[in-house]
Structure 1
Amino acid sequence: MRYVILGASASGVNCAKTIRELDPNGQITMVSGDENIYSRCMLHHVIGEKRSIEEINFVKKIFSQNYKIDWMKKVKAIGLNIRDKKVALDNGKILEYDKLLIATGSSSFIPPVKNLREGKEIYGLRNIEDAIRIKEKAKKAESVVVLGGGLVGIDAITGLLEHDLKVSLVEMSDRILPMQLDRRAASKYERLFEKEGAKIYTSVGAEEVVLDEENRVKAVRLSDGRLIDCELIVVATGVRPNVDFIEDNTIVIDRGIVINSRGETNIKDVYAAGDVTGKSPIWPLAVKQGIVAAHNMVGKSKKAEKSFSLRNSMNFLGLQTVSLGLIEAPNDSYHVSIEEYGDSYKKMIHRDGIIYGAVVQGDISYCGVLTHLIKNRLNISHIEKDIFDINYSDFFRLKENGEYEYSV
């Protein structure tokens, strides 16, 4: 069996490893534009010079040898012939496959802000080359503006604060990390970053990039008229799936490649996983998608678990936070319970005895219980305790013979 995997990040690597474990004799070819395997979640450590590219590698150096994988580095797919099952590469080679996984990830989306696409010293943050370029420019610049306050944007300012320059962040929402955190949890991070010297602008967008005669960045003009001087811009306003090599009207794409619970696309023997699917861009999901696709590629039926929105876990400037499920009540039929003490903040969104979401910041020891309750939609109406005091012991009972049994 000939397996071809396009991409060597979380989903591609885990797919390759799983295929080899399930099929010791199959031919596995992995194609990647990168020369190294590394965690994109840790690129900010490279920017801040806390770690090298070798130190953010999540596999052993002899990974490809150990798993008998033919890894084609610094090569990209430029065409896909689904009828003849062939992939055209930019090095002129053609790969034939029996099963194909598309895990080509995504690229930074540069929004149509005036001069943003034309200016020099403007970078996205999606790969190691971006991180290295940003790091080198940060050493020479006096000021930088990061556009976008999601996870990538916050990663960027975390790394940039390690350099001696003025750091500003612009976010259109009323808070940073708007997809992960509520206003109260986000404000704690905002205060921490501002204490470290960053300037946070929320509820405002970039209207224009001011350039000099050589098209180099001079400043960013905000939608409210304010001007932020800078010599470097990092764009973290969203991503686009890397699907340019796929012909129109072949594989179904809707903000990403559409897959079913088995990782299958609408084309027989073609699978997809990771950021290219346009799903929630978190590492654990990409890993699971790669593993599920691998099972089905070797003929062992496996479905992804029931969708559960683990928004993310984060630890910026020493403050740990986890958000699970809903972070805001959808309507008045939901109840919101809040507990705060010291640096700890806990918020539960629940209705009719079922918890649908939570934000836990500071002391995150309660997250294991919460994950179980939210993921499985367990009804806690029968438990006569404060919602913040519930633990695993509340779901076990003692049988007549002295044994414990799980009881919901």
Structure 2
Amino acid sequence: MRHVIIGNSAAGVFAAEAIRRTRPDDTVIMLTDEDVPAYSRCLTSYFIAGLVSEEDMAIRPPDFYQRHSIDINYGCRVEGVDIRATMVYCASGRTISYDRLLVASGARPVFPDIPGISARGVHGLRTLRDARDISSRAAPGAPAVVVGGGLVSLKTAYGLLERGLQVTVVVSSSRVLSQVMDGVAAGMLQRRLEEHGMRFLLGQDAAEVSSSAEGEVTGVVLTGGTRLPAHLVVVGKGVTPNIDFLRGTPVAVNRGVLVNEYLESSVPGVYAAGDAAEAQDLLRKEPAINAVWPNATAQGELAGCNMAGERQAYRGSIAMNSVNFFGLSAITAGLNRAEGDGYEAHTWQDAARNDYRKLVFTGDRLVGYTLVGDTRRAGTLTSLILGEVRLGDRKEALIAGDRILM
């Protein structure tokens, strides 16, 4: 049997390993438009900061593909899939047949449709190539503008700050991390970054990117008319799944590829995992893309098992995020911003120690949390959410901060 995997990151690698464990004699082919072996995308901002090397980012040893008899194809951009003929078409003109297909192609940055956005020196951050390009322009003392107030934007801004650039973050909403955590937690992280020299402009957005006659970026014009000088601009306005090659196919798509509990699409034999897949959200009980590394690895492994002939059901994913800025850690999971009927939130804060805790419950089940400062209980709390544990009278002990036995 021929298994073709589009993608060479977390979901793709874990799927390939799962297939190989179960079907040692099957053919496994991986296609990637990048030029390097699998690496951790989570570390791209740390690469920009100069804290890790490319070698540090590798998630498997150099002989991984050979040792697992995987046919890895670099620089292979997929342009189309013929479901009837079970063929994948690459931009190079190559065609590849499959018996089982996994779409693990990840996502790409979204750029705003504004004048000048294609100037040299304007980047998104998703791949190692992006990180290399950003790093090559990161001249100490130079002005940099980061557009967007999400987690990727702040991690990138942190990396640039560590490299000695003058960093301004432009945020269209009234606060940073509005889609990730509540205002108290976000404010703590913003203040930590400001203490180290980062500048924030809230309630504004980029309206235009200015450039030189040679096409090099020189600045950003904001919606209010303010002009910011910039030697480098990084745009972090979200991502969209890399699934354009499925247009015109019968594979059902919403934001990502819609999959069932076996991570199989509407077309038998075609699976999806990771940031390209819209799978069950454990808590919301509806399809969602919870685009974080642990979810991608879990989905990839299970999809690989099912491609190899097993029948394992996926229980669902939850949203999770973690960050550390200059020694201040924060971790969120689940429905940590949920409010209103059916939800009960409990918060605790020690401002002097930069500690904050928020627990969100539905009845006696923990469904979300935010930890800033002391994050040592994150593992236990995540396990309670994933296990959908009914706490009973242990709920009050958890709210009080006591250690509980699961």
TM-score of the aligned structures, taking structure 2 as reference length:
0.91
Displacement of 1:366 in angstroms is 2.1
Question: In the TM superposition, what are the counterparts of 1:287-366 in structure 2 within 5 Å?
Answer: 287-305=297-315, 307-331=316-340, 334-341=343-350, 342-366=353-377
Contact 1:141 1:231 in 2 (8 A): no
Question: In the TM superposition, what are the counterparts of 1:8-407 in structure 2 within 5 Å?
Answer: 8-36=8-36, 37-116=38-117, 118-139=118-139, 142-277=142-277, 279-305=289-315, 307-331=316-340, 334-341=343-350, 342-383=353-394, 385=397, 387-393=399-405
CA–CA distance in structure 2, aligned partners of residues 82 and 386 of structure 1: 51
CA–CA distance in structure 1, aligned partners of residues 52 and 387 of structure 2: 38
Residue by residue, what CA displacement relative to the aligned partner does 1:362-398 show, whole Å, maximum 9, x if unpaired? 11122233223333443434246462334333x5xxx
CA–CA distance in structure 2, aligned partners of residues 223 and 385 of structure 1: 49
Alpha-carbon spacing, 1:368–1:388, altered in 2? closer, same or farther (3 Å): farther
Q: What is the SS of the residue equivalent to 1:392?
A: coil
Q: What is the SS of the residue equivalent to 1:252?
A: coil
| Structure 1 unmatched runs, 5+ | 396-408
Displacement of 1:267 in angstroms is 1.2
Moved more, 2-11 or 132-141: 132-141
Contact 1:369 1:391 in 2 (8 A): no
Q: Which structure has the larger Rg over C-alpha atoms?
A: 1
Displacement of 1:254 in angstroms is 1.1
CA–CA distance in structure 2, aligned partners of residues 109 and 292 of structure 1: 29
CA–CA distance in structure 2, aligned partners of residues 294 and 351 of structure 1: 34
Q: What is the SS of the residue equivalent to 2:225?
A: coil
Q: What is the SS of the residue equivalent to 2:246?
A: coil
Displacement of 1:186 in angstroms is 1.0
The aligned amino acid for 1:3 is H
The aligned amino acid for 2:239 is V
| Structure 2 unmatched runs, 5+ | 279-288
Moved more, 174-183 or 127-136: 174-183
Contact 1:345 1:360 in 2 (8 A): yes
TM-score of the aligned structures, taking structure 1 as reference length:
0.90
Displacement of 1:121 in angstroms is 1.4
Alpha-carbon spacing, 1:363–1:70, altered in 2? closer, same or farther (3 Å): same
Displacement of 1:226 in angstroms is 2.4
Contact 1:14 1:291 in 2 (8 A): yes
Displacement of 1:252 in angstroms is 1.6
Displacement of 1:308 in angstroms is 4.3
Contact 2:345 2:360 in 1 (8 A): yes
